[in-house]
Structure 1
Amino acid sequence: MSDGLTRGEIPRAALALGLAGLIPFAAGALSLWLPLGPLTPDHGLKLAISYGAIILSFLGGIRWGTAIGPYDAGRQSREFAASVLGSLAGLAAIFLPSVPALTLLVAGFLMQALWDVTSVEAGRLPSWFGKLRMLLTAGAVVSLIAALVAVVVT
Structure 2
Amino acid sequence: MLRKGASRLALRSIASPTARPAASFNRTSPIQQFTTQFGSLASRRPQLPQTAHLKPIQAAIARRNITEKQKEVESKYQHEEIKPTPERVTATSSTHPIFGEVATETPVKEVDMMAGVKHDVGTVKDTFSLKTVPREAYYMGLAGTLPYLATSVSTVYLSWEINHANAGYGFLVNETDAIRLLHLLEPLQIGYGASILSFLGAIHWGLEWAGFGGYQGYKRYAIGVVAPAVAWSTLLMPIEGALITQFLGFVGLYYVDTRATYRGWTPHWYAVYRFILTFIVGASIVVSLIGRGELPGHVPSAVTRAEVFHDKGSSEERLAKEEEARAAQKKDAAVSDDRGEDD
Letter in 2 for 1:58: F
What is aligned with 1:66? 207
Measured on the aligned residues, the alpha-carbon RMSD in Å equals: 2.2
What is aligned with 1:124? 265
Does the CA-based 8 Å contact 1:99-1:152 persist in structure 2?
A: no
Answer with 1 or 2: which has the greater Rg. Answer: 2
Secondary structure of the residue that 2:217 maps to in structure 1?
A: helix
Q: How does 1:4-153 map to 2 (within 5 A)?
A: 9-35=132-158, 40-68=181-209, 69=211, 70-71=214-215, 75-153=216-294
Q: Which runs of 4+ in 1 moved over 6 A?
A: 36-39
Does the CA-based 8 Å contact 2:243-2:289 persist in structure 1?
A: yes
Paired with 2:133 and 2:263, the residues of 1 have a C-alpha distance of 18
Does the CA-based 8 Å contact 2:141-2:277 persist in structure 1?
A: yes
Once the two structures are superposed, residues 27-73 of structure 1 have per-residue CA deviations (whole angstroms, 9 ceiling, x without a partner) of 111111115989922222222211100000000110122233333xx
Percent identity (aligned)? 30
Long gaps (5+) in structure 2: 1-129, 159-171, 296-343
Once the two structures are superposed, residues 94-134 of structure 1 have per-residue CA deviations (whole angstroms, 9 ceiling, x without a partner) of 11101111111001100111111111112221122112111
Comparing both structures, which one devotes a greater share of its residues to helix? 1
CA offset at residue 153 of structure 1?
3.1
Long gaps (5+) in structure 1: 1-6
- TM-score, length-scaled by structure 2: 0.40
Does the CA-based 8 Å contact 1:109-1:141 persist in structure 2?
A: yes
Secondary structure of the residue that 1:58 maps to in structure 2?
A: helix
Letter in 2 for 1:32: T
Secondary structure of the residue that 1:34 maps to in structure 2?
A: helix
Does the CA-based 8 Å contact 1:10-1:131 persist in structure 2?
A: no
Secondary structure of the residue that 1:67 maps to in structure 2?
A: helix
Q: How many residues align?
A: 145
Letter in 2 for 1:19: L
Secondary structure of the residue that 2:148 maps to in structure 1?
A: helix
Paired with 1:14 and 1:49, the residues of 2 have a C-alpha distance of 24
- TM-score, length-scaled by structure 1: 0.84
Q: Go from structure 1 to structure 2 and tell me whether the alpha carbon gap of 1:8 and 1:16 turns closer, same or farther (over 3 Å shift).
A: closer
CA offset at residue 93 of structure 1?
0.6
Does the CA-based 8 Å contact 2:156-2:292 persist in structure 1?
A: no
What is aligned with 1:3? none
